Amino acid sequence: MINRIRDIRKSKGLTLAELAEACDPPTTPQTIGRLETGMRNLSLKWMDRIAAALEVDPEMIVRSEDTPAPMVIAQLRASGPEALAKPREAMLPAHIAGEGTLTVLSVGESVGEFRPGDLLWMRQLDGDDVSHAINRDVLVPRPGGRFYFGRLIDRRENLVGILPPGTGQKQQVIDNPSWIAVAEMLVRKL
């Protein structure tokens, strides 16, 4: 099992000292650091204490080595989605479960109904499941590590039609995409 304390702590903007102080009872930053790095075993008691301090479910603290982590792979801009130079791991919400690879599209600029900072959690679909994604937001790969993003408005055999979220943009038609990921959840900070 892989320990994810550091990833969760950093995603919440906490230092080792702040997390140590938030534990009940408080502990030392060195202890948290040892737990993060695996220098100290993460018992169920520690997992519960740290999860409570991070305000997450204890199951989020660990992840199976066999399950690939969902990755933020692109960022939405006014000109369309752009691939990240270095994809990064996304924090998996406790209530999003199911089959298929999860990917995350982060929003860098306001586009349509999306705001900067939004995270759009998407699940890659098998070919036959694509028809269930009509009128839903999807991410589709294109050559050169780029992407199309928008509302899936049409599917005919190997062709799919995507309507970008910005105003005045034209429909994009993609021939036989290698995969399509449909939006399942929008995460927006308040």
46/77 same-domain check: no
Q: For the domain that residue 15 is a member of, what is the CATH number?
A: 1.10.260.40
Tell which of 13, 45, 63 closes a domain: 63
The C-alpha atoms of residue 172 and residue 30 are separated, in whole angstroms, by: 53
Name the more confident of 131 and 21.
21
pLDDT, the chain, mean = 85
Asked whether the predicted pLDDT for residue 80 surpasses 80, the reply is yes
pLDDT digits 0-9 by tens, 159-169: 889 999 878 88
pLDDT at position 185 is 86
Q: What residues contact 184, with CB distance under 8 A and at least 6 apart?
A: 96, 121, 122, 123
Bridge partners of residue 5, in order along the sequence: none
Boundary (domain end) residue, out of 39, 63, 87: 63
Q: Which of 116, 152, 148, 147 is nearest to 137 (CA)?
A: 152
Number of structural domains in the chain? 2
User: Mean pLDDT throughout 51-63?
Assistant: 82
% of the chain with per-residue pLDDT over 90:
35
Domain residues for the domain of 52 are 2-63
Q: How confident is the model at residue 41 (pLDDT cuts 50, 70, 90)?
A: confident
pLDDT at 159: 87
| Residue 144's CATH number | 2.10.109.10
Residues 97 and 148 placed together within one structural domain of the fold? yes
Distances 190 to 105, 119, 187 between C-alpha atoms, Å: 18, 13, 10
Average pLDDT over residues 122-138: 81
Cα gap 99→10, rounded to integer Å: 27
In terms of domains, do 78 and 55 share one?
no
pLDDT of residue 148: 92
For residue 55, pLDDT over 90 is answered with no
pLDDT in tens, 92-116: 555 555 666 788 899 999 988 899 9
99 and 17 together in one domain: no
Q: Is the pLDDT of residue 85 over 80?
A: yes
Per-residue pLDDT of 141-162, as tens digits, reads: 988 888 999 999 988 888 889 9
Where is pLDDT greater, at 101 or 30? 30
The Cα 162–Cα 170 span in angstroms is 9
For residues 84 and 73, give the distance between their C-alpha atoms in angstroms, rounded to a whole number.
6
111 or 69, which is more confident: 111
169 and 108 within one domain: yes
Beta strands in 8-79 (DSSP E): 62-63, 71-77
